[in-house]
Homo-oligomer: A and B are copies of this chain.
Amino acid sequence: MDKIEKNLLEEIADIHEVPEGAYNIRANGKLESRNTTANIDIVTKKDKPGIDIIIKPGTVNESVHIPVILSESGLKDLVYNDFYIGEGADVTIVAGCGIHNCGDQASEHDGIHTFYIEKDAKVRYIEKHYGEGDGKGDRILNPTTVVHIAEGGYMEMETVQIKGVSSTVRTTEADLSDGASLVIHEKIMTHGEQTAETNFTVDLNGVDSSANVISRSVAKEHSKQVFNSHINGNNKCYGHTECDAIIMDAGRVEAIPSLAANHIDASLIHEAAIGKIAGDQLIKLMTLGLTEKEAEEQIVNGFLK
C-alpha cells in the first residue's frame, strides 16, 4: 500500500497498517489482504463480487474490519457483503470506504451489506465514508444496508460522512422481530455542490421491538440533502426518529420522516428541526476571542461529535 492508500485507511477505519482481529481490505476492486480468526470466517463469494462474514454463535469481544479504498480514478466498484452473526454473539464491525480521486473520471463504490443477526446477538456497526483528491472526477458512494434482526437481537449503526463525497444515496432497510432493537446514528456534512440522500425504512414487526433513528447533518455552501425515514409500527413497539440539520451559506435540507402506526400498541414519535446556527451562540463564542469562521466551525464540530 502506498501513502495515499494508508491515509485513506486511517480516515475511514482508524487503522494504520493492519487491524487487530479479522479483517478484509479491498483496494481498487481487488482483495488487498485478509485475516480470519477461530470464530470469524471471511469467504469470497463465488456468484458475485463480495464476501460472506460468518461469525460463530457466542463470539464476544471480537471485531471485523472490512474497509474499501479506491485510489484509481474512474473505477466503479460494486460489492455484496453478507454478515451472518451467530446467536448470542457480541461483535464490532468496522466498514467504510475512502476514495482518492485526482483524475477527471468519476470513482464510485456501491456496497450492498446484508446483516442476518441471530437471536440475542449484538452488533455495533461503524461505517465511515470519505473522499479526497483534487481531480475533477466525482467521488460517489451509494451504500445499501439491509438488516434482519431476530428475537432479542440488537444493532447499533454509526454512519459518518464528513467530507469529500460528491454524491451519495444511502439506503437502510431493517426488519425487527420480538424484542429486537435498532439504534442508528447518522452524521453527514456536505459542501460545495454535493448531494446526499438518506432513506431509512424500519419495520417494527415484533412484540416490543424498537428503533431509534437519529440524524444530524450540516449542509454548507451549495450542497443539498434529503432525509427520508419511514417507521412502520406493525406490533406493540416503540419507534423514534429525529433529524436535526444546520444549514449554512446556500445549503438546503429537506426532511421527510414518516410514521405509520398499524397496530394499537405502536408508539411512534418523530422530531425534526432545520435552521442556521443561532446568532447568540456565535456571539457568545466570538466574545471569547474566536472569529466568526472559527466560532461556526466549533459549533458544527460539537453538533457532529
A-side residues, CB < 8 A to B, are 233, 245, 247-262, 264-276
Instruction: Given A257-B257, A271-B271, verify A276-B264 contact (CB < 8 Å).
Output: yes
Please pick, from B256, B260, B264, the residue contacting A251 in the complex, using a CB distance under 8 A: B264
A274 CB to closest chain B CB, in angstroms?
4
A193 CB to closest chain B CB, in angstroms?
16
Copies of this chain present in the complex amount to 2
A277 CB to closest chain B CB, in angstroms?
10
Question: Cα distance A247–B234 when bound, in Å?
Answer: 13
A226 CB to closest chain B CB, in angstroms?
9
Question: Cα distance A272–B265 when bound, in Å?
Answer: 16
Whether B247 lies near A272 (C-beta < 8 A) is: no
Please pick, from B254, B256, B266, the residue contacting A247 in the complex, using a CB distance under 8 A: B266
- List the B side residues contacting A268 at CB < 8 Å: 272-275
Question: Cα distance A37–B248 when bound, in Å?
Answer: 52
Please pick, from B248, B257, B265, B274, the residue contacting A266 in the complex, using a CB distance under 8 A: B274
Q: List 21 A-B contacts (CB under 8 A).
A: A247-B261, A247-B266, A249-B264, A251-B264, A252-B260, A252-B262, A254-B258, A254-B260, A255-B259, A255-B270, A256-B256, A256-B258, A259-B274, A261-B275, A264-B276, A267-B274, A269-B271, A269-B272, A270-B270, A271-B271, A271-B272
A205 CB to closest chain B CB, in angstroms?
15
A162 CB to closest chain B CB, in angstroms?
20
- List the B side residues contacting A261 at CB < 8 Å: 245, 247, 252-254, 274-275
- List the B side residues contacting A247 at CB < 8 Å: 261, 264, 266
A264 CB to closest chain B CB, in angstroms?
5
Q: Give the residue name and chain of the B residue nearest to A273 (CB).
A: B269
Q: Give the residue name and chain of the B residue nearest to A233 (CB).
A: B274
Question: Cα distance A118–B129 when bound, in Å?
Answer: 51
Whether B266 lies near A275 (C-beta < 8 A) is: yes
A251 CB to closest chain B CB, in angstroms?
7
Whether B272 lies near A270 (C-beta < 8 A) is: yes
Extra contacts, 4 of them, besides A248-B264, A259-B274, A271-B271 (Cβ < 8 A), are A254-B260, A255-B259, A256-B258, A256-B259
Question: Cα distance A274–B254 when bound, in Å?
Answer: 22
Question: Cα distance A258–B255 when bound, in Å?
Answer: 5
Question: Cα distance A275–B258 when bound, in Å?
Answer: 14
Q: Give the residue name and chain of the B residue nearest to A240 (CB).
A: B273
Instruction: Given A259-B254, A261-B245, A261-B247, verify A270-B267 contact (CB < 8 Å).
Output: no
